[in-house]
Amino acid sequence: MAGSFALNTGATIPAIGLGTWHAQPGAVGDAVYAAVKAGYRQIDCAPSYGNEKEVGLALKKLFQDGVVQREDLFITSKLWYCNNAPEYVPEAIQTTLDDLQLEYLDLYLIHGPIRLKKGTAPLSENSLPCDIPATWAAMEKLHEAGKARAIGVSNFSCRKLDSLLAVARVPPAVNQVECHPGWQQAKLRDLCRSTGVHLSAYSPLGSPAAAGVNAPSVLGHPVLTSIAHRLQRTPAQVALRWGLQMGQSVLPKSTDEARIKENLDVVDWCIPEELMAEMLEIEQVKLLRAEFGVHPVHGYKSLKDLWDGEI
């Protein structure tokens, strides 16, 4: 097994989770099945990925085939931006639970500090002002009802996390954010460590398929490829191992069985300190910026405002 990190709930979160964003219907079910058979114990889902029903079918088959039992797995899902109004929250989780064919989630996250009009696409003109404390209070009710064993946030800056911690009755267990050698999140990691919030790293490989054609390649960065060469590992393994050594869980997405296995083979070796130090030289570029959250009237005034300068 690939190890785990402690959460402030008393539970643990598996160190490596399978990402499912951009995992196509028709491929995602096989990927989830193969990943769990290979030893993954965390699956990162979201209704906005459009594939929770197929993930649910794969989970059901894994249980029916006796590969694992429900309690062996850690399943995360997220509250989409269109459902941030407190009155929409109970129905949103229930839809996800029905699609995944589960009674409870191990972790339910506010997908981001962004609100969109109900039923609309992520476009700037669909933005609405957010009321994070109100959404959080609705999340706390889900936790109390046992539908989400842990609750947390995603895409929260230091400032937004601090503000939430100041009002939360149940503190967030996790902040799931973009984090890889090309966006290392030193300040946020320090805050998470000092407040007991686990940092979970999304796009840990630099999201090669989603970050855009002009985005710098994390896996192709010369520092990373050079370290990979010296350690006789792949750049993807070095990126993931870097994340684990920084104390964060990592959520690589793959629908390719060989890469699913490659991404799990990051536990019984380590990157020596002097090579970890070399990774500090990598120039920092945030890849997933969420321009759609910016609107002159209803949304954030600028990307700087959305990310509180952490961009």
Ligand X SMILES: NC(=O)C1=CN([C@@H]2O[C@H](COP(=O)(O)OP(=O)(O)OC[C@H]3O[C@@H](n4cnc5c(N)ncnc54)[C@H](OP(=O)(O)O)[C@@H]3O)[C@@H](O)[C@H]2O)C=CC1
Ligand Y SMILES: CCCCCC/C=C/C=O
Site residues (vs ligand Y, CB under 6 A): 21, 46, 112, 114, 155, 288, 290, 293
Q: Which of 100, 253, 279, 300 binds ligand X (CB under 6 A)?
A: 253
Nearer to ligand Y, 46 or 228 (CB): 46
When asked if residue 254 is in the footprint of ligand X (CB under 6 A), the reply is: yes
Q: How far is the CB of 35 from ligand Y (least distance, A)?
A: 18
Q: Could you say whether residue 16 binds ligand X (CB under 6 A)?
A: no
SS3 state of residue 176:
strand
Question: Does residue number 26 form part of the binding site for ligand X (CB under 6 A)?
Answer: no
Per the CB < 8 A criterion, the answer to whether 153 and 172 are in contact is yes
Q: 141 contacts which partner out of ligand Y, ligand X, none, CB within 5 to 8 A by kind?
A: none
Say which residues have a Cβ less than 8 Å from residue 232's Cβ, sequence separation at least 6. none
74-79, strands of its sheet edge to edge = 17-19, 42-44, 74-79, 107-110, 151-154, 174-178, 198-202, 249-250
Q: Count residues contacting ligand X (CB under 6 A)?
A: 32
Least distance in Å: CB of 281 to ligand Y? 26
- Is residue 111 annotated as involved in ligand binding? yes
Half-sphere exposure of 214 (CA within 13 A, CB side): 0
The nearer residue to ligand X, 14 or 204, going by C-beta atoms, is: 204
Decide if residue 140 touches ligand X (CB under 6 A): no
Q: From ligand X, ligand Y, none, which one binds at residue 290 (CB under 5 to 8 Å depending on kind)?
A: ligand Y
Identify which of 115, 94, 116 has the alpha carbon closest to the alpha carbon of residue 47. Answer: 94
Interface pick for ligand X out of 204, 243, 293, 299 (rule CB under 6 A): 204
Q: Label residue 27 exposed, middle or buried (CB < 10 Å: 0-12, 13-18, 19+).
A: middle
Contact region with ligand X (CB under 6 A), list: 8-16, 100-108, 129-137, 257-265: 257-265
Burial class (CB in 10 A: 0-12, 13-18, 19+), 238: buried
Rounded to a whole number of angstroms, the minimum distance from the CB of residue 177 to ligand X is 7
Under the criterion CB under 6 A, does residue 157 sit at the interface with ligand X? no
108 near ligand X, judged by CB under 6 A: no
Reduce the DSSP state of residue 132 to 3 states and report it: helix
Please identify, using beta-carbon distances, which residue of 64 and 232 lies nearer to ligand X: 232
Q: 200: closest CA among 183, 177, 172?
A: 177
How buried is residue 66: exposed, middle or buried, by Cβ count under 10 Å (0-12/13-18/19+)? exposed
Q: In 10 A of CB 6, how many CB atoms?
A: 12
Q: Which residue from 115, 102, 95, 94 is spatially nearest to 74, judged by alpha carbons?
A: 102
- 22 contacts ligand X (rule: CB under 6 A): yes
104: annotated active-site residue: no
Q: Compare residues 30 and 278 and give the one whose CB is closer to ligand X.
A: 30
Q: Please provide the distance, in angstroms rounded to a whole number, between the alpha carbons at the two ends of the chain.
A: 35
Task: Report the residue from 210, 270, 277, 280 that binds ligand X according to the rule CB under 6 A.
Answer: 210
Residue 119 or residue 146: which is nearer to ligand Y going by CB? 119
What are the residues binding ligand X (CB under 6 A)? 19-22, 44, 111-112, 154-155, 176, 202-210, 219, 234, 236, 251-256, 259, 262-263, 288
Residue positions forming the annotated binding site: 111
Residues labelled catalytic:
49
Residue positions forming the annotated binding site for substrate: 111
